[in-house]
Structure 1
Amino acid sequence: MKALVIYDSTGRIWNIIYGEETVPQGLTSMFVDIPDGAALERIDVTDSENPKPVFSYLPESGIGILQTKAADLEEQLTDTQVALTEQYEVNLALSEEVTNLQNAVCELYEGGTE
């Protein structure tokens, strides 16, 4: 998310403004794209001509971990359902072959008793 960041000569951030398009006059500022899940920690001003944002990333929350686990389990469930469907189709084909074989044996047996 794009934000206007106002900072001092040490890199300390004094304000972050979202939705602003105008650069303030007389203040040290820059526009920063803040990635999802990141927190803007400070501005690295070691090269005053090319300041860089420094981000920290928060650990995933309990809800985030559960959402990831639920998505993984859903994918595993789908894979298992596909495998079971394939196995069912194989079993169905084998069942048809067994039925045909039983019918052939019955025909041979009935034909042999006449």
Structure 2
Amino acid sequence: MKTLVIYDNTGYIILTFNAPYRVPEGGINYLEVEIPVGQRVTSIDTTKAPNVPNFEDIPKTDIEKLQEQVASLTQANAELTSIVATMET
């Protein structure tokens, strides 16, 4: 998805917009970038020409972390149940 990133001369991101948007004219710095799935733009490297966006992984939400814990506990419970069942026979 194309995203408009507005940033200052140090590379600090001021705003990001998803389509539809109007491309700025004049004295505003901007980039149109493709943001990879699961990542976000953290800053713009203004030391390179043309300027380059810096990406990082989007951190997992608390819900995602809890879902992983539930899945792990469910698997551990299934393994323990299997062990107990084989001990009883």
- TM-score, normalised with respect to structure 2: 0.62
1:25-104 correspondence to structure 2 within 5 Å: 25-26=25-26, 27-47=28-48, 49-61=49-61, 63-64=63-64
Tell me the distance in 2 between the aligned counterparts of 1:62 and 1:17: 26
Tell me which residue corresponds to 1:14: 14
Q: CA RMSD in A?
A: 2.6
Q: CA deviation at 1:5?
A: 0.6
Cα distance change on mapping 1:57 and 1:22 into 2, 3 Å: same
Cα deviations by residue, 1:37-62 (Å, 9 ceiling, x for unpaired) = 21211001111x21111112133345
Tell me the distance in 2 between the aligned counterparts of 1:60 and 1:42: 20
In structure 2, stretches of 5+ residues that fail to align are 75-89
Amino acid at match of 2:29: T
Tell me which residue corresponds to 1:5: 5
Local SS of the residue matching 1:59: coil
Cα distance change on mapping 1:58 and 1:21 into 2, 3 Å: closer
Cα deviations by residue, 1:75-103 (Å, 9 ceiling, x for unpaired) = xxxxxxxxxxxxxxxxxxxxxxxxxxxxx
Larger Cα Rg: Structure 1 or Structure 2? 1
Percent identity for Structure 1 against Structure 2: 39
Tell me which residue corresponds to 1:82: none
Tell me the distance in 2 between the aligned counterparts of 1:13 and 1:5: 7
Amino acid at match of 1:15: L
Higher relative contact order (CA 8 A, sep 6+): 2
Contact 1:3 1:20 survives alignment (8 Å): no
Contact 1:4 1:20 survives alignment (8 Å): no
